[in-house]
Amino acid sequence: MDKTEETQTEAKEEPPSCRRKQLFPNATKREWNDWKWQIKNQIKTKKQIEKIIDLSEDEINAIDKSKFPFAISPYYATLISKTDPLCPIRITMVPTTAELTKNKGEFDDPLGEIGDSPTPNIVHRYPDRALFLTTQTCSAYCRFCTRARSVGQKTKNDWENAIQYIKNHTELRDIILSGGDPLTMSDEKIEWLLKQLQQIKHVEIVRIGTKTPAVLPMRITKDLVKMLKKYHPLWMSLHFTHPKELTPETTKACNMLADAGIPLGSQTVLLANVNDNAQTMKALMTGLLKIRVRPYYLYQCDQISGSEHLRTPVEKGVEIIKALRGHTSGYAIPHFVIDAPGGGGKIPIIPQYVVGKEGDDIILSNRDGNIFKYHDKKH
Residue of 76, 109, 141, 147 marked active site? 147
Residue of 29, 125, 167, 294 marked active site? 125
Q: Catalytic site residue 346?
A: yes
54/43 Cα distance (integer angstroms) = 15
Residue of 87, 142, 254, 301 marked active site? 142
Query: Does the CA dihedral 239-300-130-305 come out positive or negative?
Result: positive
Residue of 18, 138, 254, 301 marked active site? 138
118-146 burial: b if 16+ Cβ within 10 Å, else e: eeebbbbbeeebbbbbbbbbbbbbbbbbb
Residues 6+ apart with CB under 8 A from 132: 121, 122, 162, 166, 175, 176, 177, 178, 193
SS3 256: helix
Residue of 18, 145, 254, 301 marked active site? 145
Q: Catalytic site residue 147?
A: yes
Residues 6+ apart with CB under 8 A from 287: 243, 246
Residue of 90, 129, 143, 322 marked active site? 129
Question: Largest Cα–Cα distance in the chain?
Answer: 80
CA-nearest of 244, 330, 333, 331 to 292 is 331
SS3 341: coil
SS3 180: coil
Residue type, position 308, single letter: E
Residue of 19, 126, 187, 316 marked active site? 126
Residue type, position 33, single letter: N
Q: Catalytic site residue 254?
A: no
Q: Catalytic site residue 219?
A: no
Q: Is residue 233 reached through a cis peptide bond, with omega within 30 degrees of 0 on the bond before it?
A: yes
Q: Catalytic site residue 353?
A: no
The answer to whether the CB of 166 falls within 8 A of the CB of 130 is yes
Residue of 141, 302, 311, 322 marked active site? 302
CA-nearest of 191, 134, 201, 135 to 166 is 201
SS3 156: coil
Q: Catalytic site residue 173?
A: no
Q: Catalytic site residue 40?
A: no
Q: What residues act catalytically?
A: 125-126, 129, 138, 142, 145, 147, 302, 339, 346
